[in-house]
Amino acid sequence: MKKIVLKAFVVAALLTGTTTFISCGSDEPEVIGGGTGTGTNQEGTKLEGKVTGTITLDASKEYKLTGSYIIEDGGKLIIPAGTKITVTGTGTEAYIAVLMGGKIDIQGTASKPVTMSSANGKPGDWGGLTICGKATTTAGVEAEAEVGGFKYGGTADTDNSGSIKNLIIKGTGASINSESQYNGISLYAVGSGTIIEDVAVIDGSDDGIEFFGGTVSVKNIYLENNEDDSIDWTEGWNGTVENAYVSHTKAGFSTVLEGDKANKNPKFINLTAVSTVEEVVKDKPTTALQFKKQSGATITGLSLTGYQKNIDMKDNGKLSNVKIEGEDANPATNYTKAATVNVKDFSWVNSSVDVNTDLLQGTVTGEVTLDPSIAYKLTGSYIVQDGGKLTIPAGTKITVTGSGTEAYIAVLMGGKIDIQGTASNPVTMSSPNAKPGDWGGLTICGKATTTAGVGAEAEVGGFKYGGTANADNSGSIKYLIIKGTGASINSESQYNGVSLYAVGSGTTIENVAVIDGSDDGIEFFGGTVSVKNIYLENNEDDSIDWTEGWNGTVENAYISHSKNGFSTALEGDKANNNPKFVNLTAVSTVEGTALQFKKESGATITGLSLTGYGKNIDMKDNGALSNVKIEGEDANPATNYTKAATVNVKDFGWVNSSVDVNSDLLQGTVTGEVTLDPSVAYKLTGSYIVQAGGKLIIPAGTKITVTGSGTEAYIAVLMGGKIEIQGTESTPVIMSSPKGKPGDWGGLTICGKATTTAGVKAEAEVGGFKYGGTSDADSSGSIKNLVIKGTGASINSESQYNGISLYAVGSGTVIENVAVIDGADDGIEFFGGTVSVKNIYLENNEDDSIDWTEGWNGTVENSYISHSKEGFSTALEGDKANNNPKFINLTAVSSVNGTALQFKKESGAIITNLHLDGYDKNIDMKDNGKLSNVKIDGADASKEDAYNEGTKVDTSKWSWKNASL
């Protein structure tokens, strides 16, 4: 809440003495105010004025708050369980305030909460509850509150303003003007002796709760659709919020948390916040946690779901001010995991949000068991990590409200899923209308063998799969119904209903139905898993698809096609490890193809019954018919395989049905070892980050087209990660946007552990990544024969990404034969570190071709810089500490004048064999640094020397630099 212009408030009655009442006539309710005692009236009671003694309300009466009701110093207001206060006063004139020295005792219970609300509970109807205490605040002693001009603040951090339990407040946030509104609860320098727990603030037009300094802690807080900040603090508040649930279902709110000014490190223990809002208002993304100026907090047990921005350091405050789960806050982390606060604990609130609904999104790292009595909504990706286990009891229904490829459930290698459906209570996963392509389905990644190899990358999500453990166990699936899957990635690719990546034979899958998917029903990518009792209806591509040498068994499968346009009942591809099908019945009312085998694939099928297909056997790539054994014989396209059903559709009565693709996208993280395939035309659609311990191998000839836009698309190698680019002179690796225009994407960033004047674990300009240590010989991998084009995406008018950013990269890293062309910022920039580079070609980078800072002290050998477009900054720019980096054989040529070598502050370099041509300024000591800092061919740099006698670097043999997409 912002500072407001004070308005006069009306004191309707000023009462003195003992219990006193002012009659307003036989048809008017009483006014309660003034003295000591209890006031009751069978005809209703009006609250207005001041409390100077002790007032106890009567829960049997419905009170009306007609104006301001102020508990003065020495006064006490007791509100018993079940009391209802209806606010009939309008706007800013109606509020309850507890002044310094006053007390309030709200005695609600879960079964009988105290309620304060306007008649309709609309945002902005009234002014809410304000409490002023004597604890410390950076505003000082006896500061003046925004609300009512009340005094607050002292030195008594354990001050006690009373007790609030089981209170519901609705419709607060009355508007003073277009910029200022009241809060639901305003806590001014309230002390730690005050008890506040089990409180709900709903539909406020400003903040739910705001702390202005003080030491008070609150517990068990429910905040729903407060239009500004759900929880806001300022003036050095240093209490704790424990167990808070925040719900946003209406567009236009500001934040979940907002901290401002001094950081006294308040604590949040178990904070769950959920937004179902997809709409962006005034180009502002929905934001979870916002910190202004130097504010911060310590947060444990954080669960965020559905917000477009999770961390916002509004005034570029330090991320280290905010500790989340013991680590510095990271805007790149989604903090999405299972709820740490159970919304069902707030059933006493009786809110408009269904407490029997819970959202699924994020990751499962431990063991999570769903509750079949809850109507779950899958709003995005829900991923069971290595070591995690997701248990879904019989009868659980999961409605997919997330859209398209963003919504799916995945079980990664080492994770497990246990679906415990029964025939009478199956588990259901479906979009509301169950339309094909609505969502992404279920993916399981295992450790069994696949011809794709160990640690292969899945089509879906880029997840890793494949190993040597053919008996691997990814869990158990029984009685599962999946509808509406196959979300479209592009015109050629869609998700499957169930994708089984190298899943092992220890996994149980039986009694599963996949209905109305726009791609495959079930697809096996290698592995040894077998499935039993499968029902597949109107999946638009292949009902059952397999590849990569899957060799399990499908027993008792019923396939139904009643809609035109599907591909096949079965499709096998690639290596033939002879999977088995025992009892397969497929029925079509729209003809089409039944069994299709690509390349050398095959199968052994017994109990086959095909009905209604126009083509029963299709050997797509002229594979041998002997690869396919049907009833002990080679497959025969002339045989119709039509006979009595071998699987009884009635066995799938529990389904209640309507009947009586290679990923080329790069995005996400690399945690193990990933090797790209040079035959694949990769598309970088967003950030692709090699984590500590991860390794990305890019073979010679690989081409990566950047289709992601601007600053969202880049490749980064973090501390402890490695990249190995294996380009050659004849087949370099290329990374470029389609047109290679300056500023199209963010380039390549590498963060190492070498020294930098920025210190240990400094924070990079790009992505907030950490870099810097003490290991000057650190190795981040090897880069050979790489061409990068179109980098330098603009963050703002002052900042852009570089072609290659080297943050504290160590001398153990090999970088040679690299070209950076048409970047909107620097070609290569060194932020400290000891790495050296060799054979570098830099053409028309719009800022500095080579830039360094933070004490980089490596060597650049054989570099050629070309400028043919006006507007660039420099060929070389050094900044800050001078650790004497070396340049051996440096040629820079300009046809458009400009500045060649620029040195800022105390920076310098040692340069041998320098050749400059075409620049109108060769040496620029930007901050009047000493020319002696720069040694060129053994002498101090000279502003008068043309430096045109050095031997040019010969690039005639660098044909690799001309490579393009």
What is the enclosing helix (H) or strand (E) of 875?
A: strand 874-878
The stretch 101-106 carries a mean pLDDT of 99
CA distance 635 to 570: 14
The stretch 301-323 carries a mean pLDDT of 92
- 91 backbone dihedrals φ, ψ, rounded to 5°: 55, -135
Q: Taking 90 as the threshold, does the pLDDT of residue 219 lie above it? A: yes
The stretch 933-960 carries a mean pLDDT of 95
Q: What is the pLDDT of residue 661?
A: 28
The stretch 638-647 carries a mean pLDDT of 82
Instruction: Mean pLDDT check: name the lowest of 517-526, 591-600, 638-647, 944-953.
Output: 638-647
Q: Taking 50 as the threshold, does the pLDDT of residue 313 lie above it? A: yes
Query: Within a domain: residue 31?
Result: no
The stretch 479-492 carries a mean pLDDT of 86
Q: Taking 60 as the threshold, does the pLDDT of residue 41 lie above it? A: no
Query: Within a domain: residue 3?
Result: no
Q: What is the pLDDT of residue 367?
A: 87
Query: Within a domain: residue 948?
Result: no
CA distance 525 to 550: 6
Q: What is the pLDDT of residue 812?
A: 98
CA distances from 435 to 356, 409, 432 (A): 25, 18, 8
Q: Are residues 757 and 817 in the same domain?
A: yes
More confident residue, 503 or 664: 503
Q: Grade residue 14 by pLDDT with cuts at 50, 70 and 90.
A: very low
Q: Taking 60 as the threshold, does the pLDDT of residue 663 lie above it? A: no
Could you tell me which of 254, 251, 248, 208 has the C-alpha nearest to residue 225? 248
Q: What is the pLDDT of residue 343?
A: 87
Could you tell me which of 282, 322, 294 has the C-alpha nearest to residue 236? 294
281 secondary structure, DSSP code = B
Q: Which of 311, 346, 381 is the last residue of a domain?
A: 346
Q: Which of 346, 378, 396 is the last residue of a domain?
A: 346
Q: Are residues 273 and 395 in the same domain?
A: no
Q: What is the pLDDT of residue 667?
A: 67
Is 310 in contact with 279 (CB distance < 8 Å)? no
SS3 for 751-763 is ECCCCCCCCCCEE
Q: Are residues 814 and 907 in the same domain?
A: yes
Q: What is the pLDDT of residue 36?
A: 36
Q: Which of 346, 369, 402 is the last residue of a domain?
A: 346
Is 727 in contact with 817 (CB distance < 8 Å)? yes
Both structure tokens of 612:
């209604």
Q: Are residues 730 and 786 in the same domain?
A: yes
Query: Within a domain: residue 302?
Result: yes
Q: What is the pLDDT of residue 953?
A: 97
Q: What is the pLDDT of residue 20?
A: 29
Q: Taking 70 as the threshold, does the pLDDT of residue 286 lie above it? A: yes
| Per-residue pLDDT reduced to its tens digit, 112-134 | 999 999 999 999 999 999 999 99
Q: What is the pLDDT of residue 51?
A: 97
Is 495 in contact with 441 (CB distance < 8 Å)? yes
Q: How far apart are the first and last CA of the chain?
A: 54
Is 534 in contact with 522 (CB distance < 8 Å)? yes
Q: Are residues 94 and 168 in the same domain?
A: yes
Query: Within a domain: residue 683?
Result: yes
Is 866 in contact with 881 (CB distance < 8 Å)? no
CA distances from 269 to 241, 243, 323, 474, 963 (A): 6, 6, 12, 33, 54
Q: What is the pLDDT of residue 365?
A: 78
Q: Are residues 771 and 832 in the same domain?
A: yes
More confident residue, 898 or 491: 898
Could you tell me which of 340, 335, 322 has the C-alpha nearest to residue 363? 335
Look at strands 287-291 and 322-324 and give their pairing.
unpaired
Domain range for 187 is 46-346
Q: Grade residue 770 by pLDDT with cuts at 50, 70 and 90.
A: very high
More confident residue, 363 or 622: 622
Q: Grade residue 673 by pLDDT with cuts at 50, 70 and 90.
A: confident
In a 10 Å sphere around its CB, with 0-12 CB exposed, 13-18 middle and 19+ buried, how is residue 294 labelled?
middle
Q: What is the pLDDT of residue 357?
A: 62
Q: What is the pLDDT of residue 323?
A: 97
597: left (phi over 0), alpha (psi -120 to 50) or beta: beta
Could you tell me which of 680, 701, 705 has the C-alpha nearest to residue 688? 705
Q: Taking 50 as the threshold, does the pLDDT of residue 814 lie above it? A: yes
CA distances from 106 to 48, 80, 88, 203, 697 (A): 18, 6, 20, 21, 64
CA distance 852 to 880: 9
Q: Taking 50 as the threshold, does the pLDDT of residue 17 lie above it? A: no
The stretch 566-587 carries a mean pLDDT of 96
Q: What is the pLDDT of residue 35?
A: 38
CA distance 927 to 902: 10
Mean of all residue pLDDT scores within the chain: 90
Residue % of the chain over a pLDDT of 70: 92
Both structure tokens of 48:
């207005």
Q: Are residues 802 and 906 in the same domain?
A: yes
Q: What is the pLDDT of residue 15?
A: 27
The stretch 552-565 carries a mean pLDDT of 95
pTM assigned to the model: 0.53
Is 182 in contact with 172 (CB distance < 8 Å)? yes
Return the biggest CA–CA distance within the chain.
108
More confident residue, 174 or 41: 174
Identify any residues that bridge with 28 across adjacent strands, giving them in sequence order: none
Q: Are residues 893 and 860 in the same domain?
A: yes
Q: What is the pLDDT of residue 7?
A: 26
Query: Within a domain: residue 351?
Result: no
Q: Grade residue 884 by pLDDT with cuts at 50, 70 and 90.
A: very high
Is 374 in contact with 399 (CB distance < 8 Å)? no
Q: Are residues 824 and 784 in the same domain?
A: yes
Could you tell me which of 672, 664, 678, 708 has the C-alpha nearest to residue 690? 672
Q: What is the pLDDT of residue 492?
A: 65
| Per-residue pLDDT reduced to its tens digit, 237-274 | 999 999 999 999 899 999 999 999 999 999 999 999 99
Q: Are residues 432 and 571 in the same domain?
A: yes
What is residue 694's three-state secondary structure?
coil
The stretch 631-641 carries a mean pLDDT of 92
Is 21 in contact with 35 (CB distance < 8 Å)? no
794 secondary structure, DSSP code = B
Sign of CA dihedral 488, 494, 497, 498: negative
Q: What is the pLDDT of residue 141?
A: 98
Q: Grade residue 665 by pLDDT with cuts at 50, 70 and 90.
A: low
CA distance 428 to 411: 17
The stretch 42-46 carries a mean pLDDT of 59
Both structure tokens of 324:
């989340």
CA distance 946 to 923: 9
Domain count along the chain = 3
CA distance 752 to 56: 66
Q: Are residues 578 and 628 in the same domain?
A: yes
What is residue 910's three-state secondary structure?
strand
Query: Within a domain: residue 794?
Result: yes
Both structure tokens of 134:
């004597």
The stretch 216-227 carries a mean pLDDT of 97
The stretch 441-463 carries a mean pLDDT of 94
Q: Taking 90 as the threshold, does the pLDDT of residue 354 lie above it? A: no
Query: Within a domain: residue 24?
Result: no
Q: Taking 80 as the threshold, does the pLDDT of residue 42 lie above it? A: no
Q: Are residues 641 and 687 in the same domain?
A: no
Is 671 in contact with 689 (CB distance < 8 Å)? no
In a 10 Å sphere around its CB, with 0-12 CB exposed, 13-18 middle and 19+ buried, how is residue 239 labelled?
buried
Residue % of the chain over a pLDDT of 90: 76
